[in-house]
Each structure stands twice: as structure tokens, then as C-alpha cells.
Amino acid sequence: MVKGFSDNEVKNDNEIKESKKEKKGLAAFLKGKKFTYTLPGKKQINIFGSIVLGLNLILILLVILYLKNQEFHDFVFNVGR
């Protein structure tokens, strides 16, 4: 006996079409629109990667400065109030 789908076709298309409700709101607005996604190019990947790495480096430097420098620690503590 073969496992899988049977050879007999089941016709349930009418029930499926009737069960769909009208879309409202944003879904109705986007119903006719066709969006395509394109992968970013190498230049764009490099720009975003540089931004992320630069911000992470700044964050690490600020954390080290916060932990090692008491004046900076007091400044951050007082500004945060």
C-alpha cells in the first residue's frame, strides 16, 4: 500500500471561496498592490555593517568610561534623575 495522497481529487474549492471574508482596513488597501523585495547590494550591506559596528564600539567605550571614571559616572547618574 502506497502512503501519501490519494489519486481521487476532492473538489472543495466552492467552500473555500465562500468561507473567505472581505478584507478590511490596511489589508483591503494593500489587496491590489504588488510589493517586491530586493536583496540589499554589497555597498548597502557595508554601510549598515559599519554603522552597527561603530555604534557598538561607542557603546563599549561609554560603558568602560562609566565604570572607570567617577566624574563621568556622577554625570550620568545626575542627568538620569
**Chain segment 6-18, per-residue pLDDT in tens:** 666 555 555 555 5
| d(C-alpha 13, C-alpha 11), whole Å | 6
Q: Is the dihedral of CA 57, 58, 61, 63 positive or negative?
A: negative
pTM here is 0.52
Give per-residue pLDDT as tens, 58-69.
Answer: 999 999 999 999
Show the cell assigned to 44: 548597502
Is residue 14 situated within a structural domain? no
Is residue 3 situated within a structural domain? no
Task: Report the pLDDT value the prediction gives residue 14, as an integer from 0 to 100.
Answer: 57
Is residue 6 situated within a structural domain? no
Number of structural domains found in the chain:
1
Is residue 74 situated within a structural domain? yes
Longest dimension (CA), the chain: 80
Is residue 17 situated within a structural domain? no
- 64 lies in which domain range? 34-81
| d(C-alpha 69, C-alpha 13), whole Å | 71
Residue count of the chain, please give it: 81
Share of the chain above pLDDT 70, in %: 72
Is residue 5 situated within a structural domain? no
